[in-house]
Structure 1
Amino acid sequence: MSQNTTDSHGGWKAYDYYPSMAAAVIFVLLFLGSTFLHTYHLFRTRTWFFIPMVIGGYFESIGYIGRALSAHQSPNWTLGPYVMQSTLLLIAPALFAASIYMELGRIIILVHGEKHTLIRVNWMTKIFVAGDVLSFLMQALGAGLMVKDSSSKETGNNVIIAGLFVQIVFFCFFLCSALVFQSRISKYPTSQSEVRYIPWRKHMYALHGSSFLILVRSIFRVIEYVEGQDGYLLQNEVFLYIFDALLMFSVLVIFIVIHPSEINCLLGKGKVMTSRAGLSLSEFSVAV
């Protein structure tokens, strides 16, 4: 809720409103609950390429704990909780993206669809993850500069914007690559892509949906930082929860409902989360 706030700590003011305790606590519980569930499935199914997604979930949880602490301190905010929420909520989606990139490569290998990709599979994951790491580091560096001192705040803001643009560029390229692959393999299917019990299509839809949500969130963050501290988005807390918190929580939910352990299991690298799909490693091995 936007309110008139008084400066604290010699003129430093963390927010242009009093952060909502209720909203922060709700999303702490939502992110912790979904991330605990992902952690359980991670170890049970040994879907190790989803480790970045799980870490990102904990970053989101800790970030909203920081906002809850800031809400408790209003209007006498301290730097610690503010840094906690501003940094972790900013960089967590880059970790989500890393797992999403790695899943696409595994889907392509599963259906033997390498000839339908824009770039070679063994380079695809490396390129996308490298771009994601670059974006992650730039955003983390920018966040650090913004809280260091007032003289470096503008530089930090610009570095964050650049990092978000890097993330958007790579995400758009990723979406194009995924869409082109799905279009080509739908027109010219491989024998593996037509096997009944290989549910690659629903996992592609999960990738498309989650990628779109992260892309929308990244565009929102770019606009937010371009507008600056006096911008409408930063002065109204509700936009953070609509275009960041809710979207990132939805990403975690998508991958709970459509868990990548199915892909991992069919590649012989782990267990499936649920047996309802009737997946069987021995059955798959015979088909391949």
Structure 2
Amino acid sequence: MSNSSDYFSYTPASKLPIIAAALFAVFIGVLTWQTIRFKAPKWVYILVGTALAEAVGFIIRAAIVNEASLGLFVTMTLFLLLPPNALALFNYRVIGEVVRRSRVPTTRFWLKPKFITWFFFGSDVFSFLVQSSGGGMMAMESMRDKGKHIALFGLAVQLVFFACFMAVTIVVKRNPQYRVECGPKDRDGVAAKKKLMGVIISTTALLYVRSIYRVAEFADGYGGKIYSCEWAFYVFDSLAILLCFVIYSVWFVGHHFPSRTMEDTYLMHST
């Protein structure tokens, strides 16, 4: 008999994690194909790796339904808690690349490519480490309260940096000097930029919703009303992340960042 309820404080659904794993597996294939087809930069594989991590997390969740263990539960928690940080990192890299390739002179340090890339990258790594520490500790009853507060701190930090990043993104979006390379179906650079910014803003908003849910879940505590509502996890966490992948796949942004040779040609003809 499964002892999964000892870890979840409820009996988890058996079919939903299998469906979720299958859906994320689809995006592994789609995004890999798009990245190869459009010769996108290697950092676009962040999306593929994140989808893989989500799929693995749900496969472990499906296994726990039948036979749970502390090791599996901790591993599942980390695989489903941490991967969205990589999506945030992907968004940071996209805006950093737009700023870098546009080569717009500025005295504002927060609009410099290196600051955007490394500052938000650093915040993402810090949040990742804090959340992973708290998530691991929460699986152990003796350290559950301490782990909850650590994970909450990591999520709160992430929310603050999400807000800062969104502000930077809006500034870049409104400034016509920041340009985006046209994709296969874009009418012009303006349309390309509008599409790309829509992708980044909408996915960041979804990640924000997911983080707010996680904050509420951890604040409510292990076994609380929010934690015990499995549907809330699938709606505000899994579905939010899944919608991000839908957006990334339908409005693929990898072809907006051509190789160095293509980029230099574009800049030469645009000056």
Matched with 1:136 is: 128
1:205 aligns with 2:192: no
* Counterpart-to-counterpart distance in 2, 1:144 and 1:51: 26
Aligned pair in 2 of structure 1 residues 13, 108: CA closer, same or farther (>3 Å)? same
What do you get for the CA RMSD once the two structures are aligned? 2.7
Q: 1:282 Cα deviation (Å)?
A: 5.1
The Cα shift of 1:42 comes to 3.1
Aligned AA for 1:59? Answer: A
Residues 70 and 81 of structure 1 are in contact (CA less than 8 Å); yes or no, is this contact kept in structure 2? yes
- The one-letter code sitting in structure 2 at the alignment partner of 1:135 is S
Match of 1:50 in 2: 44
Q: What SS class does the counterpart of residue 13 from structure 1 fall into?
A: helix
Q: Is 1:94 paired with 2:85?
A: yes
1:154 to 145, 159, 163: 145
Q: Which amino acid aligns with 2:198?
A: Y
What is the SS of the residue equivalent to 1:14? Answer: helix
Instruction: Render the CA deviation track for 1:63-105: whole Å, top value 9, x for unaligned.
Output: 11111112223xxx32233222211110010011111100011
1:89-129: per-residue Cα shift (whole Å, max 9, x none)?
A: 10010011111100011122344445496432221111001
Question: Are the structure 2 counterparts of residues 7 and 107 from structure 1 closer, same or farther at C-alpha, using a change threshold of 3 Å?
Answer: same
5 Å-filtered alignment, 1:213-228, equals: 213-228=206-221
Deviation at 1:191, TM superposition (A): 8.7
Q: Describe the superposition over 1:198-228 as per-residue Cα deviations: whole angstroms up to 9, x where unpaired.
A: 3122101100000000000000000000000
Quickly say closer, same or farther: Cα 1:92–1:114, change in 2 above 3 A.
Answer: farther
Q: Are 2:269 and 1:286 aligned?
A: yes
1:68 alignment counterpart: 62
Q: Check the 8 A contact 1:70/1:82 in 2, yes or no.
A: yes
> CA-to-partner distance for each residue in 1:211-258, whole Å, 9 max, x for gaps?
000000000000000000132111110001000111101111111112
Q: 1:16 aligned to 2:9?
A: yes
Aligned residue among 10, 27, 30 for 1:37:
30
The answer to whether the 8 A contact 1:46-1:270 is kept is no
Given that residues 28 and 51 in structure 2 are in contact (C-alpha distance below 8 angstroms), is that contact kept between their aligned partners in structure 1?
Answer: yes
1:19-65: CA deviation from partner (whole Å, max 9, x where unpaired):
11221111000011102222333344242122333222111111111
In the alignment, the residues of structure 2 paired with residue 116 and residue 263 of structure 1 have an alpha-carbon distance, to the nearest angstrom, of 26
- Gaps spanning 5+ residues in structure 1: where? 1-5, 272-279
For the 8 Å contact 1:53–1:98, the answer to whether it is kept is no
Question: Which segment drifts farther, 110-119 or 44-53?
Answer: 110-119
Relative to 1, partners in 2 of residues 1:119 and 1:194: Cα closer, same or farther, differing over 3 Å? closer
TM-score where L is the length of structure 1: 0.82
Counterpart in the other structure of 1:3 = none
Q: CA 1:192/1:107 → structure 2, altered by over 3 Å: closer, same or farther?
A: closer
User: For 1:225, what is the secondary structure of its paired residue?
Assistant: helix
The TM-score normalised by the length of structure 2 is 0.87
AA partner of residue 246 (structure 2): V
1:81: which partner in 2? 72
Is 1:126 matched with 2:126?
no
Q: What runs of 5+ residues in structure 2 fail to find an aligned partner?
A: none
Report the count of equivalent residues. 263
Q: Percent identity?
A: 25
Distance (whole Å) between structure 1 residues aligned to residue 58 and residue 181 of structure 2: 44
Query: How far, CA to CA, are the matches of 1:191 and 1:228 in structure 2?
Result: 44
